[in-house]
Structure 1
Amino acid sequence: MKLPGHDAIARQADEHLVTHRVKLPRKVVERPIRQVAKRLSLALLVLVATAFIVYADHDGYNDNSDGSVDLLDAFYYATVTLSTTGYGDITPVSDAARLTNIFVITPLRVLFLIILVGTTLEVLTERTREEWRLNRWRSTLRDHTVVVGFGTKGRSAIQTVCATGLRKEQVVVVDPSSKVIDAATADGYAGVIGDATRSEVLKRAEVQRARQIIIATQRDDTAVLVTLTARQLNRGAKIVAAVREEENAPLLQQSGADAVITSASAAGRLLGLSVLSPAAGMVMEDLIQQGSGLDMVERPVVKAEVGRGPRETDDLVVSVVRGHRVLGYDDPAIGSLQLTDRLITIVRATHDAKVTPDVRPIPRD
């Protein structure tokens, strides 16, 4: 069954599809037009230099038509010689002219051919190199993070995840717009151009081997379709999706999402809180911004904390994760902390401190 708007989204994706649907981040290079212009300028410089060298010793050359070699003849001879055409109507007759052809004109001819043929060789080499990089990327990509949608929500989600130590090489962005993918690759992420509701597009992102999938599409119906497709391809990955309308959250959970963030209602609650208490709104905004001020993190219980209550720890504990349940700090069911528990705490963000792999940021809205 197709949800409303699916055909329009698919058509939009088809309009943006290109031959190479997977784009890897690469170093910034000059534009192709500028590279070609430089090569043509260098080839023209070699041609002009050769013509003036021939004209400087024009008495040592013979033109079969009139016997003399003028400036035009020198340029003509340089052109046919550098291009290896060699009609033979103008020939060097003196010893000096022949030596000049051996030691000067011939190296310039080789340089001229390298400049022209080098452009084709560079294109072929670049294609081979890009194909090799793509195959190597596919073979080494494991337990990565796939982000569907590189808008405001997708960018913020990636920044939050990468703030905990996730390398950019472990992030793959999927979006139907080639311009968006170009922006993602410019930031150092691999990108896949295409409609993420289609399984072949997600397979190009190696979603079947991903550890976690973040769905931050612009439409709720698209998020549902992407969630269904991703869950079908990967049963064990953690899927987190964002929706605009709160009524669509249960549908996302039924489709296979482990967590659903309602962006519109969350923003509305923050606005209302800021109206009632600007200071409380500032604190919540501080918690949302990862890496500055206060941060909310999830960490394991250390041995020294086993047997204590949540309020007896050094950190400010908000909740306790026990099994699949999230208990408030004042929930009587907690009792004393266990070694298998995990704590959700509020800590002071430190830019210089390294984040340990077992400390996780709490996903932001």
Structure 2
Amino acid sequence: MSIKLVDRRDERLALQRQAKLTPLGSLLLRATIVLALIGTAIAIHWFDRGGLVDQVDGHISFGDVLYFTMITITTVGYGDIVPVTPRARMFDTFAVTPIRLFVWLIFLGTAYDFIFKRAWNRWRMKLIQDRLHDHVVVAGFGTSGGEAVAELLRRGTSPDDIVVIDSRQTVLETAEALGVNYLCGDASHNAVLEAAAIKRARAVVISAGRDDTSILIVLTARKLSPDAVITVVIRSEENEDLAKQAGATSVINPVSFAGLLVAGATHGSHLPEYMRDLATAEGRVALKERIVEAHEIGQPLSAITTGVGVRIYRGSDCFGFWEAEANALQAGDVIIEIVPGSR
């Protein structure tokens, strides 16, 4: 799994595809290249051993060539064996020196990929996790999940406060382009949700594409985060009660909701447009949910000045603006009001 923050300001156009080499294969390939470079240097030194002088016994054996090559490639040499002919010196200058640089670059790159990079990613992931508080976790980045993230951004949610979870690396490229945190993994697993710091999340949006998978994620999320607001997309009406029993705060059925809009259009052509305005942050009007303020307690719902009050939630009960209970607001009431939109 991976979690990542992306700065798109220095983006470059690049044609990419998934790497075919495994980490072990990459390591073996690099070792082969290093051995090939060293072997080339040893072979040339051996065939031109007449250009080398051993300061100890004056005789150049294969062991001396092997020793001289390794010392020359890995260090600057000790001076006990030295090139004395112009050809030997030219070879060391224009062949051995580049080989030395290539070997060191391969070594440093391998150390970075297999040691430093992993440690850096673990530290970076821990840093991002520690900064996640009151964020939104979006499990499933398909059509519904993607639109949910886009709407959250339009409503002013910072990309730093959104974590997208999906097992498909291809769709996460879109999440990366939006600048949000993303996690590649199965959201039905405890470890994946814990990596998204779900215990400190204020809300969870679940749209896994399959009702059974979505309900399983609801169960896992509710177990890990008892107080979070969990909204799940369910496509079959018969599974809506199961999702609520699993712990979902809200259940959205896009199929039945679309049917309501279509049916509403038969009674008024402007009704679907108005409903869309209410649902999106870019409409002329918008729905807002808030807690009743102290100076509003005792007043009727119709007297609020922040918008048009249409409904109140009092505990587990719901009352419309026309009902008697809406004539006197009480402490703890949750108000649903229509306010001007951003357009």
The two structures have a TM-score, normalised by structure 2, of: 0.69
Correspondence for 2:327: 335
Go from structure 1 to structure 2 and tell me whether the alpha carbon gap of 1:300 and 1:233 turns closer, same or farther (over 3 Å shift).
closer
- Structure 2 CA distance for aligned equivalents of residues 299 and 163 of structure 1: 19
Correspondence for 2:318: 326
- Structure 2 CA distance for aligned equivalents of residues 233 and 301 of structure 1: 30
- Structure 2 CA distance for aligned equivalents of residues 229 and 193 of structure 1: 17
- Structure 1 CA distance for aligned equivalents of residues 145 and 310 of structure 2: 26
Correspondence for 1:84: 73
Correspondence for 1:25: 5
Correspondence for 1:140: 131
- Structure 2 CA distance for aligned equivalents of residues 318 and 150 of structure 1: 33
Write the letter of the residue equivalent to 1:250.
Answer: D
- Structure 2 CA distance for aligned equivalents of residues 306 and 333 of structure 1: 12
Correspondence for 2:256: 265
Task: Please give the residue correspondences for 1:48-87 in structure 2 after superposition, counting only pairs within 5 Å.
Answer: 84=73
Structure scoring higher RCO (CA < 8 A, sep ≥ 6) equals 1
- Structure 2 CA distance for aligned equivalents of residues 295 and 153 of structure 1: 20
Among residues 291, 301, 320, which one is paired with 1:300 in the alignment? 291
Query: How much does 1:91 deviate?
Result: 5.5
- Structure 2 CA distance for aligned equivalents of residues 108 and 175 of structure 1: 45
Paired-residue identity, % = 30
Query: How much does 1:116 deviate?
Result: 4.8
Query: How much does 1:284 deviate?
Result: 1.1
- Structure 2 CA distance for aligned equivalents of residues 325 and 107 of structure 1: 81
Query: How much does 1:327 deviate?
Result: 1.6
Residues 23, 181 of structure 1: 8 Å contact kept: no
Query: How much does 1:92 deviate?
Result: 7.2
Residues 22, 190 of structure 1: 8 Å contact kept: no
Q: C-alpha offsets along residues 44-102 of structure 1, whole Å, 9 cap, x if unaligned? A: xxxxxxxxxxxxxxxxxxx8889xxxxxxxxxxxxx99x8399xx995778xxx9xx99
Once the two structures are overlaid, the 10-residue window that deviates more, 264-273 or 23-32, is 23-32
Query: How much does 1:128 deviate?
Result: 2.8
Residues 150, 216 of structure 1: 8 Å contact kept: yes
- Structure 2 CA distance for aligned equivalents of residues 271 and 321 of structure 1: 28
Q: C-alpha offsets along residues 184-238 of structure 1, whole Å, 9 cap, x if unaligned? A: 2332222233332333332333333333221112111222222122222222222
- Structure 2 CA distance for aligned equivalents of residues 164 and 286 of structure 1: 13
Q: Which sections of structure 2, spanning at least 5 residues, go unmatched?
A: 20-47, 52-68
Task: Please give the residue correspondences for 1:180-329 in structure 2 after superposition, counting only pairs within 5 Å.
Answer: 180-314=171-305, 315-329=307-321
Residues 274, 282 of structure 1: 8 Å contact kept: no
- Structure 1 CA distance for aligned equivalents of residues 215 and 273 of structure 2: 33
- Structure 2 CA distance for aligned equivalents of residues 304 and 197 of structure 1: 44
Write the letter of the residue equivalent to 1:193.
Answer: C
Q: Which sections of structure 1, spanning at least 5 residues, go unmatched?
A: 1-20, 34-62, 67-79, 352-365
Write the letter of the residue equivalent to 1:321.
Answer: Y
For the aligned residues, what is the CA RMSD? Answer: 4.1
Go from structure 1 to structure 2 and tell me whether the alpha carbon gap of 1:324 and 1:165 turns closer, same or farther (over 3 Å shift).
farther
Query: How much does 1:117 deviate?
Result: 4.7
Q: Secondary structure at the match of 2:150?
A: helix
Runs of 4+ in structure 1 off by over 4 angstroms are 28-33, 63-66, 89-94, 104-118
Residues 148, 215 of structure 1: 8 Å contact kept: yes
Q: Secondary structure at the match of 1:200?
A: helix
Go from structure 1 to structure 2 and tell me whether the alpha carbon gap of 1:254 and 1:129 turns closer, same or farther (over 3 Å shift).
same
Residues 144, 170 of structure 1: 8 Å contact kept: yes
Number of residue pairs aligned between Structure 1 and Structure 2:
291
